[in-house]
Amino acid sequence: MIHSSMNCTKCKTKAVMKLPRHNAAFCKPCFNHFVHDQVEKAIKSQAMFGPDERILVAVSGGKDSLALWHILLALGYHADALYVHLGIAGYSERSYDKVQYYAKMIAAPLGATLHTHTVEQEAGAGIKELAQLVHRPTCSTCGTIKRYQFNRAAIEKEYDVMATGHNLDDEAARLLGNVLHWQEEYLDKQGPSLPASVEGFAKKVKPLYRLTERELAAYCVLNKIDYIVDECPMAQGAKTLLYKEVLNRLETESPGTKQYFYWGFLEKQRKQSATSAPATMAEKDQTILHPCMSCGQPTTAESCSYCKLMARAKSAVPH
Ligand code: SF4
Ligand SMILES: [Zn+2]
Ligand SMILES: [Zn+2]
């Protein structure tokens, strides 16, 4: 990553990071400036949030979410964070350590707060045991719980918007998966800024969609942000990793492919929504959603998927 002979495209001092897709190389201050600028561009061009809004960042202890929290604070936004402790032996403790360290040493002095939700406390078991109890794959159980807890925290603690650390690699890989299987209903929902469609659902944004995984790792290293390098042990073999590999091969051959693929999709989406009839998802959702009878969160059924999951887990526990 370090090319000693290279100079910074902007200020001509020694560069520490080469960015083939922008045909540029940067020194540390210019690289930080580049990263911050990409995030500001994302926030403004997708109307994510304003300077006075309160943001809840979903942190996992990985590079993307910690970098996101760091960048938002550096840019002067009011950003707190939520960590969901999944209770995965070994992994959860280590990732929580990283998050707590960052929160204490860097975020707290800037006035930012870390909230924690512990799955085991509310559900009586960690994510793996819960998934076994309800006979569902761990990752889908985890997805239901995380989506629910982040939304609940955002609404109850009155945040204006919830931000996640999805980067360009994540979004391009997801788009590739959706296109390969022609999952058009998911394509509609793939934008980096999803408005609060109905009352009770928080607005969701992805301010890192203009930055790659490699750039975010470099940002953490250069700014001494200590993150957990290992992936969650449940993630092994996920299709997404294969799609990322394929996209990286294409990227090496022709730098800029990933960005062209995903940003091109966003541009098409924007043009389409500008011309399509105003029968929006929000209006459709509004008619079929009502409060969950157990927790009050909007749902299409009597109870929401989280409450159903918890009920199934409780009934499966031997008495
Ligand atoms: S890999 Fe699966 S279990 Fe691990 S955090 Fe992601 S969704 Fe949850
Ligand atoms: Zn420079
Ligand atoms: Zn519910």
Give the domain CATH number at 132. Answer: 3.40.50.620
- For ligand 1, atom 1, the nearest C-alpha belongs to 235
More confident residue, 191 or 75: 75
Phi, psi torsion values for 163, nearest 5 degrees: -115, 135
Structural domain includes residue 265: yes
Asked which of 123-132, 228-237, 245-254 is least confident by mean pLDDT, the reply is 228-237
Interval between CA 236 and ligand 1 midpoint (Å): 10
Structural domain includes residue 210: yes
- For ligand 1, atom 3, the nearest C-alpha belongs to 139
Residue ranges of the alpha helices (H) in 86-202?
91-102, 119-123, 127-133, 138-156, 168-180, 184-188
Structural domain includes residue 207: yes
Q: Is the pLDDT of residue 306 over 60?
A: yes
- Model pLDDT, residue 314: 87
Ligand 1 binding pocket, CB closer than 6 Å = 127, 138-139, 142-143, 232, 234-235
State the ligand closest to the CA atom of 241: 1
State the ligand closest to the CA atom of 302: 3
Closest ligand 1 atom to 235 CA:
1
Interval between CA 263 and ligand 3 midpoint (Å): 36
Residue-range definition of the domain harbouring residue 45: 31-282
- Model pLDDT, residue 210: 97
Q: Is the pLDDT of residue 191 over 90?
A: no
- Model pLDDT, residue 57: 98
Q: Determine the Cα–Cα distance for residues 80 and 162; give it in Å rounded to an integer.
A: 10
Q: What is the pTM of this model?
A: 0.93
Q: Is the pLDDT of residue 277 over 60?
A: no
Structural domain includes residue 311: no
Phi, psi torsion values for 128, nearest 5 degrees: -65, -45
Q: Is the pLDDT of residue 280 over 60?
A: no
Task: Give the confidence band of 61 by pLDDT, cuts at 50, 70, 90.
Answer: very high
- Model pLDDT, residue 240: 87
Q: Is the pLDDT of residue 285 over 60?
A: no
What is the total residue count of the chain?
319
Phi, psi torsion values for 72, nearest 5 degrees: -65, -40
Task: Give the confidence band of 120 by pLDDT, cuts at 50, 70, 90.
Answer: very high
- Model pLDDT, residue 195: 84
Q: Determine the Cα–Cα distance for residues 29 and 277; give it in Å rounded to an integer.
A: 46
Neighbours of ion ligand 3 (CB under 5 A): 292, 294-295, 304, 307
Structural domain includes residue 258: yes
Task: Give the confidence band of 245 by pLDDT, cuts at 50, 70, 90.
Answer: very high
Mean pLDDT value of segment 202-212? 96
- Model pLDDT, residue 198: 76
Structurally, the chain folds into a number of domains equal to 1
Strands 193-194 and 203-205 turn out to be antiparallel
Percentage, residues of the chain above pLDDT 70: 93
Q: Is the pLDDT of residue 236 over 70?
A: no
Structural domain includes residue 13: no
Asked which of 71-75, 135-139, 287-291 is least confident by mean pLDDT, the reply is 287-291
Q: Determine the Cα–Cα distance for residues 310 and 319; give it in Å rounded to an integer.
A: 16
For residues 166 and 61, is the Cβ–Cβ distance under 8 A?
no
Q: What is the mean pLDDT of the chain?
A: 91
Neighbours of ion ligand 2 (CB under 5 A): 8, 10-11, 27, 30
Closest ligand 1 atom to 127 CA:
3
Task: Give the confidence band of 1 by pLDDT, cuts at 50, 70, 90.
Answer: low
Structural domain includes residue 198: yes
Q: Is the dihedral of CA 192, 198, 199, 201 positive or negative?
A: negative
Residue ranges of the alpha helices (H) in the chain?
28-45, 63-74, 91-102, 119-123, 127-133, 138-156, 168-180, 184-188, 213-222, 239-253, 257-275, 281-288, 305-316
Mean pLDDT value of segment 80-92? 96
Mean pLDDT value of segment 173-202? 86
Asked which of 22-36, 70-84, 264-278 is least confident by mean pLDDT, the reply is 264-278
